[in-house]
Amino acid sequence: MTADQPLAIALVHHPVRDRNGALITAAVTNLDLHDLARSAKTFGVERFYVVTPVAEQQRLVTRLLDHWVVGHGASYNPDRAAALELAAVVDSLDQALADWRQLTSEDALPLLTGAQRCDGISFSMGRQMLKQRPILLTLGTGSGLAEELFENEWPVLEPIAGVAGYNHLPVRAAAAIMLDRIKGTGKEL
Amino acid sequence: MTADQPLAIALVHHPVRDRNGALITAAVTNLDLHDLARSAKTFGVERFYVVTPVAEQQRLVTRLLDHWVVGHGASYNPDRAAALELAAVVDSLDQALADWRQLTSEDALPLLTGAQRCDGISFSMGRQMLKQRPILLTLGTGSGLAEELFENEWPVLEPIAGVAGYNHLPVRAAAAIMLDRIKGTGKEL
Residue-level pLDDT at B73: 87
Whether A186 shows a pLDDT value over 80: the answer reads: no
Per-residue pLDDT tens over the stretch A3-43:
999 999 999 999 999 999 999 999 999 999 999 999 999 99
Give the CA angle between residues B81, B83, B89 to the nearest 5°. 95
The answer to whether B180 touches B43, Cβ cutoff 8 Å, is yes
Name which of B34, B39, B122 is nearest A188 (Cβ-Cβ).
B122
B77–A34: do the CB atoms touch at under 8 Å?
no
Residue A1 contacts B, CB cutoff 8 Å: no
- Count how many pairs of residues, chain A against chain B, have C-beta atoms within 8 Å: 135
Q: Is the pLDDT of residue B188 over 60?
A: no
Q: Is A169 on the interface with B (CB under 8 A)?
A: yes
Tell me, what's the pLDDT at A165?
84
pLDDT at B130 > cutoff 50: yes
| pLDDT of B167 over the 60 cut | yes
Minimum distance, in Å, between the CA of residue B71 and any CA atom of chain A: 19
**pLDDT range class, residue B117, cuts 50, 70, 90:** confident
CA distance A38 to A50: 14
**Percent of chain B, pLDDT > 90?**
83
Which chain A residues are within 8 Å of B168, Cβ to Cβ? 38, 41-42, 79, 83
Cβ of B47 under 8 Å from any chain A Cβ?
no
Inter-chain residue contact A42 with B168, CB threshold 8 Å: yes
Q: Residue A16 has what pLDDT?
A: 98
- Looking at residue B186, its pLDDT comes to 56
Q: How far is A137 from chain B (nearest CA, A)?
A: 17
**Contact (CB<8Å) A42/B181:** no
Tally Cβ neighbours within 10 Å of residue B106.
Answer: 9
**CA quadruple A73, A75, A76, A82: dihedral sign:** positive
Mean pLDDT of A60-82: 91
Is 60 exceeded by the pLDDT of residue A187? no
**Per-residue confidence at B74, pLDDT binned at 50, 70, 90?**
confident
Count of all residues that appear for chain B in the document: 189
pLDDT at B189 > cutoff 70: no
Contact A188 B163 (CB under 8 A): no
The DSSP call for residue B18 is: -
Of A167, A169, A181, nearest to B39 by CB-CB distance is A169
Percent of chain A surpassing pLDDT 90: 83
**Distance between first and last Cα of chain B:** 18
For residue B97, CA distances in Å to B10, B13, B83, B156 come to 9, 15, 20, 15
Specify the pLDDT at position B187: 44
pLDDT bucket at B118, cuts 50 / 70 / 90: confident
Query: Beta strands B7-12 and A87-90: pairing type?
Result: unpaired
pLDDT band at B115 (very low <50, low <70, confident <90, very high): confident
**Contact check, Cβ <8 Å, B175/A177:** no
Q: What is the pLDDT of residues B23-37, one digit of tens each?
A: 999 999 999 999 999
A188 — pLDDT class (breaks 50, 70, 90): very low
Cβ of residue A20 closer than 8 Å to a chain B Cβ: no
Three-state DSSP at A48 gives strand
Report chain A residues whose CB lies below 8 A from the CB of B189.
Answer: 123-124, 181, 186, 189
User: Domains in chain A, please, with CATH?
Assistant: 7-183 (3.40.1280.10)
What number of other Cβ atoms are within 10 A of residue B46's Cβ?
A: 15
Question: pLDDT band at residue A1, thresholds of 50, 70 and 90?
Answer: low
Q: Where are the alpha helices (H) located in chain B, listed in sequence order?
A: 30-42, 55-65, 72-76, 78-84, 93-103, 123-132, 171-183
Tell me if B124 and A42 make a contact (CB, 8 A cut-off).
no
Asked if residue A189 has pLDDT above 60, the reply is no
pLDDT of B177 > 80? The answer is: yes
Task: Kindly report the average pLDDT of chain B as a whole number.
Answer: 93
pLDDT of residue B163: 84
Give the separation between CA B89 and CA B156, rounded to whole angstroms: 23
| Cross-chain Cβ contact B188/A77 below 8 Å | no
In tens, the pLDDT along A102-139 reads: 999 999 999 999 988 888 999 999 999 999 999 999 99
pLDDT at B116: 83
In angstroms, the separation between the Cα of residue B8 and the nearest Cα of chain A is 14
Determine contact: B116 vs chain A, CB below 8 A. Answer: no
Q: Residue A170: how many CA atoms within 13 Å on its side-chain side? A: 25
Interface touch B169/A176, C-beta < 8 Å: yes
When pLDDT is cut at 50, 70 and 90, the band that residue A163 belongs to is confident
